[in-house]
Amino acid sequence: MTVRAPAPVTRAGVTAFRLYAVLGLAAALAVAFGLSAPRGLDAVVTGVACAAGVAAFVVTALAAKVRHGRERLVALHQFLAVLTACALVVWALGADVPSYLDVLAPGVLAAIAVGRLGCLAAGCCHGRVAVRGPRVAYRREHVAEGFPGVLAGVGLVPVQAAEAVVAGALVAAGAVSGLGLVVCLGGYGAARAGLERLRGDGPPSRRRVSPQSLVGVGASVVAAGYAAVFGGFPIAPAFALVAALFLIAPPALSDVAHPRHLVHLAEAVRGSTEAARGGGTPVVVTACGTRVSASVVAGRMTVAVAPAREAVGTLIARLYGVDAPAGIARGGGDLIVVDLGPV
């Protein structure tokens, strides 16, 4: 099932990303103060820690903008930076750090859960091309805001929505269990280690593991160490184990399912088919090592792709509006032949 993404800009002219950022901050404050009051924690300490967290978020966001030349937020990095700032402030005020972190961590993660809905609407942090299962498709309005035009109308994995749901569940679990930091830090680290495998907004890479996945595993390991000292065993070690398993598991999708590589693949197919119409049989190699060769056989344009699995042919067929079951054939080894129809 493919669902159209929400509009990236509200009728009032406010971008969805900024709207959900404000709502996320409100959610963070509501969760933090809502959990601290029943536990007898000082509201002033909680408030100062929240202010420090907001300051840390702004500083890291500005630093990333200076470094990359554009706004670039990495939720996991922001989560760790904000928690670190909160912990330092609570410690400086002479309060019990573990007690406050158990209410502040769910608050920070609540902000991320709401913020990810803004990512879903804006089209940033989007997923890879979906071969099966639920999909989200972006429109011309999103392209006008910077979304890749070649991916408009293409069903993508709704990874932002998945992360929002997981983060929300972790917030609830952390609040109910009383182990807010262990559950949120360990659980979110493990979740990001897994969900990174479905992300498609970065450049395609031959690396098996992304840096963010490694950071996620590291966060889960830190949570496990924290649990060994302050309580929460064996929940946190279980999160660390799950995160580590994501690193050694086979890729959820091939690199050719990566939207950026799909753009390269589409360009390779387009160039190869144009040359084939002129009587040539060119071979184009993409950045990820995929070989593409087009030819005209019996008046029909066919494209051979290798190495590739059937899912790759499905992606190409969908991109060109070809009926996948009838338009894809397996060749020898990892060769896929896609029928693009009459010349």
| HEC assignment per residue over 67-107 | HHCCCCCCHHHHHHHHHHHHHHHHHHCCCCHHHHHHHHHHH
- Over range 162-180, report the average pLDDT: 95
Contact 334, 326 (CB under 8 A): no
pLDDT of residue 325: 46
- Is 83 within the bounds of a domain? yes
pLDDT at residue 321 greater than cutoff 60:
no
Residues 223, 280, single domain; the answer is no
The one-letter code for the residue type at 187 is: G
- Is 151 within the bounds of a domain? yes
Residues 17, 108, single domain; the answer is yes
pLDDT of residue 100: 97
Percent of the chain exceeding pLDDT 70 equals: 83
Distance separating alpha carbons of residues 265 and 250, to the nearest angstrom: 22
pLDDT of residue 203: 59
- Is 147 within the bounds of a domain? yes
Distance separating alpha carbons of residues 203 and 335, to the nearest angstrom: 25
Maximum separation of any 2 CA atoms in the chain, in Å: 80
Sign, CA torsion 197/201/206/209: negative
pLDDT at residue 157 greater than cutoff 70:
yes
pLDDT digits (tens, 9 = 90+) for 17-58: 889 999 999 999 999 999 999 999 999 999 999 999 999 999
Residues 158, 283, single domain; the answer is no
pLDDT of residue 173: 94
Domain extent for 298: 264-342
End position of a domain, from candidates 253, 272, 297: 253
The one-letter code for the residue type at 37 is: A
- Tokens representing 271 are 């160039």
Residues 63, 171, single domain; the answer is yes
- Is 259 within the bounds of a domain? no
pLDDT at residue 310 greater than cutoff 70:
no
Residues 142, 289, single domain; the answer is no
pLDDT band at 292 (very low <50, low <70, confident <90, very high): confident
End position of a domain, from candidates 210, 232, 253: 253
Distance separating alpha carbons of residues 275 and 297, to the nearest angstrom: 14
Residues 314, 174, single domain; the answer is no
- Is 273 within the bounds of a domain? yes
Residues 164, 194, single domain; the answer is yes
pLDDT digits (tens, 9 = 90+) for 81-114: 999 999 999 999 999 999 999 999 999 999 999 9
Distance separating alpha carbons of residues 251 and 145, to the nearest angstrom: 31
Backbone angles phi, psi at 124, to 5 degrees: -85, 165
pLDDT at residue 243 greater than cutoff 70:
yes
Per the prediction, the chain carries an average pLDDT of 83
End position of a domain, from candidates 253, 282, 306: 253
Backbone angles phi, psi at 328, to 5 degrees: -125, 135
- Is 219 within the bounds of a domain? yes
pLDDT digits (tens, 9 = 90+) for 131-154: 778 889 998 898 888 887 767 888
Residues 123, 217, single domain; the answer is yes
Distance of CA 4 to the CA centre of its chain: 18
- Is 258 within the bounds of a domain? no
- Cβ partners under 8 Å of residue 304, min gap 6: 291, 292, 293, 294, 295, 331, 335, 336, 337, 338
* Structural domains of the chain, count: 2
pLDDT at residue 116 greater than cutoff 90:
yes
- Cβ partners under 8 Å of residue 66, min gap 6: none
Residues 209, 290, single domain; the answer is no
Contact 86, 143 (CB under 8 A): no
Residues 232, 292, single domain; the answer is no
- State how far the alpha carbon of 167 is from the alpha carbons of 3, 160, 193, 302, 327, in Å: 22, 10, 13, 45, 40
Distance separating alpha carbons of residues 232 and 102, to the nearest angstrom: 11
Residues 285, 188, single domain; the answer is no
- Is 292 within the bounds of a domain? yes
Contact 131, 314 (CB under 8 A): yes
Residues 91, 156, single domain; the answer is yes
pLDDT of residue 246: 76
pLDDT of residue 206: 53
Contact 279, 297 (CB under 8 A): no
pLDDT of residue 234: 76
- Over range 176-186, report the average pLDDT: 93
